[in-house]
Amino acid sequence: MKKRASHYDEKGRVRMVDVSAKPATSRTAAAHAFVRMKPATVASLRRLKSRKGNPLEIARIAGITAAKRTAELIPLCHPLALTHVDVDAKLCQNGIEITTQATTTGPTGVEMEALVAAAVAALTIYDMSKALERGMEITELYLVSKTGGRSGAYARAGKSVRK
């Protein structure tokens, strides 16, 4: 069977996918992003975390909030009743690694929610750190894994964890 882009009809017009006939199943997704920065910026964030509160916690809350609002950001994305969202931001030697998880029971997957959570958490890190370094890079935004639905499970090969 030849694969086709699901958000286009037979005439090539953009459409929202009709999921009304699909059964509700348990679905999960995990995503990843990395904010690359200079070691001096990481050191400054470590000091802020211990003295004035954790800037990574703001990014975590921003990611969770963003996941819940994904359908408002991505035009053809279905609004979902998320049953769980988790965002983790970890200081590494050369930046901050962000991992996210989203879960729902429904007729469509939560990949976009996990990816939006990772992207917005990374953007929040950038926003909170730009006074320290403007040259940071948001990299490695990708889907790590997903379960549920007609297409089954997916796991990205070769995911590396930062030190």
Per-residue pLDDT tens digits for 26-41: 999 999 999 999 999 9
Instruction: Tell me the pLDDT tens digit for each residue of 112-129.
Output: 999 999 999 999 999 989
* Catalytic position from the list 18, 86, 88, 127: 127
Domain boundaries, the chain: 38-148
Strand, coil or helix: what is 107?
A: coil
Class of domain 38-148: alpha beta
- Using a 10 angstrom Cβ sphere, with 0-12 exposed, 13-18 middle and 19 or more buried, the burial of residue 145 is middle
Q: Is 86 a catalytic residue?
A: no
* Nearest by Cα to 37 from 160, 139, 121: 139
